[in-house]
Amino acid sequence: MVRTISTLIGAAFVFVLALALFGTVKTTITEPTPESVEHVFHQEPADIHLASAGLFGKFDDRQVQRGFQVFKEVCSACHSLKYVHFRDLTKIGYSTAEVKAIADQWAIEQPSINPDTGEPATRKNVPSDPFPSPFANEIAARAANNNALPPDFSLITKAREDGPNYIHALITGYQNPPAALKREFPSFSTPPGLHYNPYFANLNIAMPPPLTADGQVTYVDGTKATKDQMARDVAAFLTWTAEPNLNARHAAGIAAILFILIFVFLAWGAYQNVWRDLKH
């Protein structure tokens, strides 16, 4: 008797679940959720084919240095690199003397304490220092950026999907809202202080276009500084800041694969030698 009641209760439970599932599927098919403006007009970034991409990728130090120059002259006014130290620049080809000069001449100095008065002060950067933040704190950063907090750039290409391609597309993607957007979504607008960018998650971004014209940066190596070139270079630099040991990691991976292949070949040879007589 108890078993029969339990079976009936279980069958009723399964029946209710089946009805609920059927109702959900039917509603999804007959009354699909309207597509949002972000879903319709959001664009995916194109592949910019950086030298560091792929299993055998390796950083192009000249390009990374150009990207650092773009960061220094354009991006560092708002964005920090708190997990990167000046001395790390030696990994992309700068000499120790050049790194010392870059640190000493950096526009933002390190916070310090006056040893005589105990009052807050600043001091020149040294190679062992991390790149200083352009703002004293979050409140100051928001006050200077229409209440938006500029993200730290140290790991930005890891924190964003398709990081390097996203950075390039975002920087070069500022435009006016297309006419089709207004036709399909009349309620959509870009509020004052924001900028339309189809590569940003909700299409409206607080950061103004950082690259406004070709030649905004004069490259030391003489490369023509188009907006596209500068965006590619800074994307390469931020890929490096997020994974400065990529070259060594890829080299170690290739060495490990070669070792495994050699080991498998030797093991196969040993197997053939040991079992050769027993097979016949």
Q: Which residues pair with 130 in a beta bridge?
A: 85
75 carries a ligand binding annotation: yes
Strand partners, 196: 204
Is 207 labelled a binding residue? yes
For 239, the token pair is: 């890929």
Establish whether 42 is an annotated binding residue. Answer: no
- In the block, tokens 């990167």 appear at 84
Closest CA to 22 of 10, 14, 34, 11: 14
What does the radius of gyration of the chain's CA atoms come to, in whole angstroms? 28
Q: Does 78 belong to an annotated binding site? A: yes
- Residue 48: burial class (beta carbons within 10 Å; 0-12, 13-18, 19+): middle
C-alpha neighbours within 13 Å on the C-beta side of residue 268? 6
Distance, CA of 91 to CA of 101 (rounded, Å): 16
Q: What is the C-alpha to C-alpha distance for residues 108 and 103, in angstroms, rounded to an integer?
A: 10
User: Whose CA is closest to 240, among 112, 33, 60?
Assistant: 60
Q: How many CB atoms lie within 10 A of CB 212?
A: 10
Q: Residues forming the annotated binding site for heme c?
A: 75, 78-79, 207
Q: Residues forming the annotated binding site?
A: 75, 78-79, 207
